[in-house]
Amino acid sequence: MKHVTGKSINLALSVRGRSSLKAVGLEDEVIVRHAIPMYARLIHDRDGSRRPIPYGKSDQCIFSVGRRFLNEVLLSAAEKHSNVNIHFNHKLVTCDPETGSMTFERYPSKEITTAQADLIVGCDGAFSAVRRQMLKRPRFNYSQTYIPHGYMELTIPATPDGQFAMEVNYLHIWPRDSFMMIALPNQDKTYTVTLFMPYENFEDLITPEKLLDFFFENFPDAIPLIGKKNLIEDYFRLKPSPLISVKCNPYHVGDKTVIMGDAAHAMVPFYGQGMNAGFEDCLIFDELLERENFQLARVLPEFTLYRTPDAEAICDLAMYNYVEMRHLVNSKSFLLRKKCDKFLNLIFADSWIPLYTMVTFSKKRYHLCVKNKKWQDKVINQTIWAVGVSASVVGLSVFAKLLHNHPHWLEAALESLNKFKLSMPLFHN
């Protein structure tokens, strides 16, 4: 698979994305025919040990799907509709979001062609050409953040006998402080490995020796899996891709233009929700079309109003995870975090659900996941505080009762304290 800079080779599909595929009758084709379920994380430690942490019940899994396969399935399904015309190799050069006029440059002829739309739906990614035109309009809010980390995709080939080189139904994670690496399985028995690292670290690894030393120190078990030759060739052939988070508002212009997916809310990949959020945009937009009887003048502003809090919440959660995960210096801290999550969920059952579980394995609106998490934290803190206070009260009353029943214990304690003070020159005033 040729690496296209900035486009990950495989993606994590979870329940939100599945629901959108189901709505267009493609869930089985993607899930049954192609996707590889990952029922747990497999945390790789520096010493080469691996520990699985299941996502939860057996039906709670995320799926690894290939971008190319997904594109092919979606395009094939779209072109089956007689009213769909697909024009490849047409780059949108500019558009007028208010009138729906569009100008394209054809590749490779560079011929300019125009078109007029009743509705422009801009799903053209984090560096959207449609959004660029919206940006020129008054009262269009926009913010973007490049994080110091970049990412590079490497490959773990299949074994000589054509099998997966690692355990297959896992999301492989190597948590290493500010370096993070993950691997998702592909249908061709390879793994796509994504190395997340500050650009300055990528820039430090300028020779094969430095690269191998770095991997030997941080990801020793990955060297034989990727292969030294492949690692060196891929690493120096590719360039790290930037990671950007984009928020903007509104997502529409009048009844003529709407943006969705990364064009509307690009997020850093540390929640594995980018594609799921974009697919969920489509489902929500479709439901609004039905509900408002295709009145675009109502549907578009409603889409902005409804979707903005959720899109911004998941952008914030992904950035929050980016910060959090860098403090998981090794697998033990990652494991501890997840064990705490599991313990609290066991103790507080349905009133305490790990945030990752709410986001990944439910369709609860993203902003309500955050709201619920804040409520959960408040309840936990209050519960722990109450347990702490009552334990102290109980402890003190037991202590007072003991002293009441054995007054000589207090005399003996005070006498030995005096002796200790006399023996310590520090206490002499």
Ligand X SMILES: Cc1cnn(-c2ccc(OCc3ccccc3)c(C(=O)O)c2)c1-c1ccc(Cl)c(F)c1
Binding site for ligand X (CB under 6 A): 12, 41, 62, 171, 173, 180, 182, 196, 269-272, 321, 324-325, 328, 334, 337, 356
Query: How far does the chain reach from its first CA to its final CA, in angstroms?
Result: 79
Residue among 245 and 308 whose Cβ is closer to ligand X:
245
Question: Which of residues 251 and 271 has its CB atom nearest to ligand X in the complex?
Answer: 271
Strands 191-198 and 62-66: unpaired
**Comparison of 95 and 180: residue with beta carbon closer to ligand X:** 180
Query: Quick check: 329 and 176 in contact, CB under 8 A?
Result: yes
- Minimum distance between the CB of residue 427 and ligand X, rounded to whole angstroms? 47
At 128 the three-state DSSP class reads: coil
The residue (of 69 and 270) whose beta carbon lies closer to ligand X is 270
Position with the least CB separation from ligand X: 272
Angstrom distances, CA of residue 210 to CA of 48, 112, 215, 225, 336: 20, 48, 9, 18, 32
Please state, in angstroms and as integers, the Cα–Cα distance from residue 98 to each residue in 118, 134, 255, 268, following that order: 10, 9, 8, 30
Instruction: State in angstroms the smallest separation of the CB of 139 from ligand X.
Output: 35
Choice between 215 and 334, CB closer to ligand X: 334
Least distance from ligand X to the Cβ atom of residue 414, Å: 49
Measured from the CB of residue 384, what is the shortest distance to ligand X in angstroms?
Answer: 20
Nearest to 53 by CA among 370, 366, 340, 376: 340
Burial class (CB in 10 A: 0-12, 13-18, 19+), 98: middle
| Cβ neighbours for 401, distance < 8 A, ≥ 6 positions apart | none
Residue 53 C-beta: closest distance to ligand X, Å:
7
Q: Which of 17, 65, 104 is nearest to 281 (CA)?
A: 17
Nearer to ligand X, 251 or 356 (CB): 356
In angstroms, what is the minimal distance from the CB of 74 to ligand X? 20
Nearer to ligand X, 288 or 317 (CB): 317
Closest approach, Cβ 211 to ligand X, in A, equals 20
DSSP assignment letter at 371 = H
From the CB of 338, what's the least distance to ligand X, in Å? 6
CB atoms under 10 Å from CB of 315, counted, come to: 24
Nearer to ligand X, 256 or 337 (CB): 337
Task: Give the contacts of 291 (CB within 8 A, at least 6 positions apart).
Answer: none
